[in-house]
Structure 1
Amino acid sequence: MVVDDHPMWRDAVERDLEAAGFSVVGVAADGGEAVARFGACRPQVVVLDLQIPAPSGVEVTETVLRQDPSARVLILSASGEQADVLAAVKAGATGYLVKSASREELIDAVRRVARGDTVFTPGLAGLVLGEFRRLSDPAADDGLPQLTERETEVLKMVAKGMSYKQIAERLVLSHRTIQNHVQNTLRKLQMHNRVELTRWAIEQGLDDDDE
């Protein structure tokens, strides 16, 4: 399902996805339509703009995933702001692309998200990884669950754009194990205070990892 309040953009995304072999089972122009139509058509993947008439893309993400936890949400937004990226991930989105992404990048992201991968526009992943790092830092003992060494290792690879399949091959683990590591860490991230998290992320910058 494609959700965007700009008809030309929405139609273009729908055409590109169908040309790539996907079945677009629904479209919506605002949050209310998105929630109503999601229940009727039950898409496997929702390609969703954040800045849509209420309810917002973040609220739509939370709502549809409550209805169907197996669905995947790929955010396709004009915004690359730190607060927007973190809010979308905390709501349960497993992908975030900015609208400057190419058609090929969009199609690849939809395929990967459908498989259960977590996909970010390069650079934005560093923001999320930065918060994962903070959670895994024993010095930041503020009652939050800590990340394991394996979770941190996997998430560094995710932030560099590697697919779950590539990570599984590199670490000699199953695709399911990699997916579980990422989902466990996303759940840990979602437990954190959003305002404090966003302030910290802005102070740290997107990605200072030069590995």
Structure 2
Amino acid sequence: MMSQPDQPLTLVIIDDHPMVRAGIRFELEKHPEAVQVIGEAVDVTSAISLVQELQPQVALLDVHMPGGNGGGGAEVAARCRNMQTKFLALSVSDSAEDVVAVIRAGARGYVTKTISTEELVQSILRVGAGDAAFSPRLAGFVLDAFGTAQVSETDEELDLLSAREQEVMRLIARGYTYKETAAELFISIKTVETHVSAVLRKLQLSNRNELTHWATVRNLV
């Protein structure tokens, strides 16, 4: 069991279901010595704003959420990757695809909503201390994904894209809007739209959600 921190870890709850947020808060508030809940968010956009504003030590992150660019919890983690906040995914889903996507986006752990309160608190403490935390068997998905050879820069599909298209692809896959991508690369929004269309056509993808998945499984975001 993890030792208690000198001060309770600050934490935000990110979930689009009010009853779920209320239940999690109720259970965690039974452990004020370990965790202090300082905020809640209901979708991707509000989650990013909340983390940027409060900079909690840990964020409990639902995987499937509305808002943003359709990337759900993985989008939140990716957009906040360079901040001090550590993300622990808490989801009803135990699919390998969801687990790997959110971990590759920057989360430190992934537990399912069948977890007990004590186990959740311990997982939060582990993640807050910089360690990983997973529900049983989910860690295997991550080991399988990261234990295999990563797609290199000479990947045949990646080679179909120009250098600029690759830059645009990575930013869009991380959840940047067209406007934000244009500002980051000092190009026009129209040029971004043109590049995204070319990327989707060359990779035979239908939308940016598929593009995010394509880039995530190749560890390109």
The normalised TM-score by structure 2 is: 0.60
1:1-211 mapped onto 2 (5 Å cutoff): 1-21=12-32, 22-55=35-68, 56-66=72-82, 68=83, 70-135=84-149, 143=152, 194-195=216-217
Q: 1:26 to 1:127 in 2, by over 3 A?
A: same
- Cα 1:113–1:196 change in 2 (3 A) is closer
Partner of 1:24, secondary structure, is strand
**CA separation in 2, counterparts of 1:110 and 1:18?**
13
**What is the identity, as a one-letter code, of the residue corresponding to 1:60?**
V
Q: How many residues align?
A: 143
The structure whose Rg is larger is 2
Name segments (4+ residues, structure 1) moved above 4 Å.
none
Q: How large is the Cα RMSD of the aligned pairs?
A: 2.0
Structure 1 unaligned regions, length at least 5: 145-191, 198-211
Distance 1:123-1:44 versus aligned 2 partners, 3 A rule:
same
The CA distance in 1 between the partners of 2:100 and 2:64, in whole Å, is 15
Measured against aligned partners, the alpha-carbon deviations of 1:31-82 in whole angstroms (never above 9, x if no partner) come to 111111112211000001011112311101111223x1x2100000111111
Report sequence identity in percent: 36
Please give the secondary structure, in 1, of the residue aligned with 2:37. coil
Structure 2 residues not aligned, in runs of 5+ = 1-11, 154-213
| Contact 2:100–2:145 (8 Å) recurs in 1 | no
Q: Whose helix fraction is larger, Structure 1's or Structure 2's?
A: 1
CA distance in 2, matches of 1:57, 1:195: 16
Which amino acid is the alignment partner of residue 95 of structure 2? E
Write the deviation string for residues 10-48 of structure 1: whole angstroms up to 9, x where unpaired: 011112222212111110111111111112211000001
